[in-house]
Structure 1
Amino acid sequence: MSVLNTAEIMEILPHRHPFLLIDTVEELESGVRAVAKKAVSFHEPYFAGHFPGNPVMPGVLIIEALAQTGAVAILSQPEWKGKTAYFAGINHAKFKQKVVPGDVLTLETEIIKVKGPIGIGKATAYVDGKIACIAELTFAIG
């Protein structure tokens, strides 16, 4: 059973369809880590052009989904309520396998460092237990 559904995620994040890229939050340790799910549908708008006849979820959107997962973890703390987490950096990103329609992405982001409004998250996306993407994400809360 999910910890947060889409409506509850939208109470924390400012993102909306079609740019809200997580469907549910399965685990949440406020300020520490979050695990979210994204069911990748053939009807995602980006599949019309990426790539016709061979749809692949853009890597940058996998990174964004991981960032949104981390944002739920950090912004679920009372002191950051109503704020927005912005990208400040993406480091060591690696893509290990394609993400295609029908896949369910499991997105895990652990907050490994916070100093004031700046932090770093260790992020990993999985499909069927296999790593699809890893990255280190830096964020600034504003």
Structure 2
Amino acid sequence: MTKSDFIFDLDRLDFENPIADTEAIHRLIPQRFEMAQVTAILAEDVDRLACVGYKDVTEDEFWIRGHMPGMPIMPGVIQLEAVAQLASYFAQRHDLLGTEMVGFGGLDEVRFRGIVNPGDCLILMIELIKLRRGRMIVARFQGAVDNKLVIDGVLRGIPIPVEMVKQQLDRRP
């Protein structure tokens, strides 16, 4: 993959001046503690409906102890969660779905093309390819480490019926 094939030019990303830090991300998406998988948002291109952020993969990640002891590799499902959180942040920031919360709607064409280890900076990129307000967003995504593609595919985001979920939880014994 050439540099021009990435959704964003990785050489132009400014890690010293993110447009949203963890606190700003938490104002828009609900994941906290060990489930928070986006460190900062670096840039947006609202005309293209695209966004780029990153996840600092630390030595303290909750999955390290059990995901292949002695050879920790970031689980693919956690990489996908990070991409979903980036897409959710972007959708909420720009009120693309008109909903209180965005959730996973599906994944297509996902490919894992490299390994992500503790100490890596996983750059996450999304670009919306379809938007149906109130129904669904569809975004192509990429993840890169050291200017190499490590994951890509297509993600679907859907509105989460927050009130219905709360009612279901209230009915539990």
Q: TM-score, normalised to structure 2's length?
A: 0.77
Q: Which runs of 5+ in 2 are unaligned?
A: 1-16, 161-173
Which residue of 1 is the match for residue 139 of structure 2? 121
> Displaced runs of 4+ in structure 1, greater than 3 A?
78-82
Contact kept in structure 2, 1:30 and 1:74, CA below 8 Å: no
Q: Which has the higher strand share?
A: 1
- 1:139 equivalent among 157, 167, 172: 157
Contact kept in structure 2, 1:12 and 1:81, CA below 8 Å: no
| Rounded Cα–Cα distance in structure 1 between residues aligned with 2:30 and 2:36 | 9
Per the TM alignment, residue 39 of structure 1 is displaced from its structure 2 partner at its CA by 0.7
1:46 aligns with 2:63: yes
How many positions carry a matched residue from both structures?
A: 142
Which residue of 2 is the match for residue 84 of structure 1? 101
1:8 aligns with 2:8: no
Which residue of 1 is the match for residue 9 of structure 2? none
**Matched residues, percent identical?**
26
Q: How does 1:39-118 map to 2 (within 5 A)?
A: 39-78=56-95, 83-117=100-134, 118=136
Q: TM-score, normalised to structure 1's length?
A: 0.94
Q: Which runs of 5+ in 1 are unaligned?
A: none
| Rounded Cα–Cα distance in structure 2 between residues aligned with 1:81 and 1:101 | 36
Q: Are residues 140 and 84 of structure 1, via their aligned partners in 2, closer, same or farther at CA, if it must alter by over 3 Å?
A: same
- Tell which structure's C-alpha radius of gyration is larger: 2
Per the TM alignment, residue 54 of structure 1 is displaced from its structure 2 partner at its CA by 0.3
Work out which structure has the larger RCO, using CA pairs closer than 8 Å and 6 or more positions apart in sequence. 1
Per the TM alignment, residue 42 of structure 1 is displaced from its structure 2 partner at its CA by 1.3
Please provide the CA RMSD for this pair. 1.6
Query: For residue 136 of structure 1, what is the amino acid of its counterpart?
Result: V
| Rounded Cα–Cα distance in structure 2 between residues aligned with 1:69 and 1:24 | 9
